[in-house]
Amino acid sequence: MKKENTLYIVIPCYNEEEVLHETTKRLKEKLNKLIKDKVISKNSRVMYVNDGSKDKTWDLIKEIDESEELFTGITLSRNRGHQNALVAGLLTAKEYADVVISMDADLQDDINAIDEMLEKYYAGFDIVYGVRSSRKKDTFFKKVTAEGFYKFMSLMGVDIVFNHADYRLTSKRVLCEFEGYKEVNLFLRGIFPLIGFKSDVVYYERAERFAGESKYPLKKMLSFAWDGISSFSVKPLRMICVLGFIILFFSFIIMLYSLIQKFTGNTVDGWAFITISIWFIGGLQMISIGIIGEYIGKIYNETKARPRFIISENLNEKKK
Ligand code: UDP
Ligand code: MG
């Protein structure tokens, strides 16, 4: 087995004072065991990212950083939301770590999956996605809305791993490539599949939040879903074009129908003309908007300036 790598666990925290102690306790046990078993190096850490919390979260993190060798933290100048807090943590941690795992502060994601994630990492996988095997512990409402979210996203052309949130392992080189994605509207679970490299999944049971409340009410979830679609897919724009063609097609049927009505004398004067015009012009307008949409879609993709490719191996380098 190769030399133990340094693992950083990145945890965004927003008003999490109720859970931090328990989370710290459980993760400390886990890390100590992994270090003892020589799976990870002694320099491994848990890095809390305080996302502009309004409660005592940051004071607690400072205390924990003082008293616990394996724990440290950073804080953002204000609340920037889960995704941005995660990015801040991932990009900071990659400076110190060989491999980083991100998870939530409430430990709803089973920390025992870490072992399997690391196994896969040592077996050569650069990204390991944590996937919920079931949602037995979620409320019916959360289950339906959350699973609907994944289905709707893929319908809208966003490539994501089903039932995978932000519990994931990424190697240092993935994070280095990730830095090249400069977009401000971030939807991490869509970006990592884009980066590529060898990836695998690990299944785990999602538990209940052991304290505190969800920071993702339905409103935030909906805006998150829309963010994901609008920062990843031009499909909604393309749908305008398709709709335009459908309406135009109908306008021909309506034209036939109107003319038949007119010539069988079932109409008042001018009815056929107006009906045909409305449908035909409606369809034309829709198609025109769709065409403009296609161009906007192109501009949108250009402004993102995403890397065009990532080379994962260069055999010539190895010859030197
Ligand atoms: N979070 C954050 N900033 C926010 C909202 C949430 O850093 O503005 C963190 C939160 O502290 C937690 C994680 O994001 O660690 C996931 O939030 P939560 O557990 O409330 O979401 P749920 O599991 O209910 O979807
Ligand atoms: Mg949670």
Give the tens place of pLDDT for each residue, 187-222: 888 889 888 898 998 898 887 777 777 777 778 878
**Which has more confidence, 149 or 80?**
80
Average pLDDT over residues 165-186: 89
Kindly report which listed range (36-45, 115-124, 127-136) carries the lowest average pLDDT score.
Answer: 127-136
The answer, yes or no, to whether any atom of ligand 1 lies below 6 A from the CB of 106, is yes
User: Three-class SS of residue 34?
Assistant: helix
Alpha helices in the chain (DSSP H): 20-36, 57-67, 82-93, 113-122, 140-155, 172-178, 188-195, 218-230, 235-263, 271-304, 315-319
What is the percent of the chain with per-residue pLDDT over 70, rounded to a whole number? 98
Q: How far, in Å, CA of 65 to CA of 95, rounded?
A: 18
The tokens for 1 are 């087995």
Average pLDDT over residues 290-295: 92
Residue 8 has pLDDT above 90, yes or no: yes
pLDDT score for 2: 60
pLDDT score for 216: 74
Q: Give the type of residue at 171.
A: S
The answer, yes or no, to whether any atom of ligand 1 lies below 6 A from the CB of 214, is yes
**For atom 17 of ligand 1, which residue has the closest CA?**
215
Q: How far, in Å, CA of 216 to CA of 53, rounded?
A: 15
Residue 254 has pLDDT above 70, yes or no: yes
Ligand 1 pocket test target in 10, 14, 166 with most atoms within 8 Å of CB: 14
**How much distance in Å is there from the Cα of 106 to the middle of ligand 2?**
5
**For atom 24 of ligand 1, which residue has the closest CA?**
214
Ligand 1 pocket test target in 103, 107, 216, 224 with most atoms within 8 Å of CB: 216
Q: In terms of C-beta density within 10 A (0-12 exposed, 13-18 middle, 19 or more buried), how is residue 317 classed?
A: exposed
The answer, yes or no, to whether any atom of ligand 1 lies below 6 A from the CB of 81, is yes
Global pTM value = 0.79
pLDDT score for 320: 67
- Residues with Cβ < 8 Å from 259, sequence gap 6 or more? 272
Residue 84 has pLDDT above 70, yes or no: yes
| Residue 139's pLDDT band (cuts 50, 70, 90) | confident
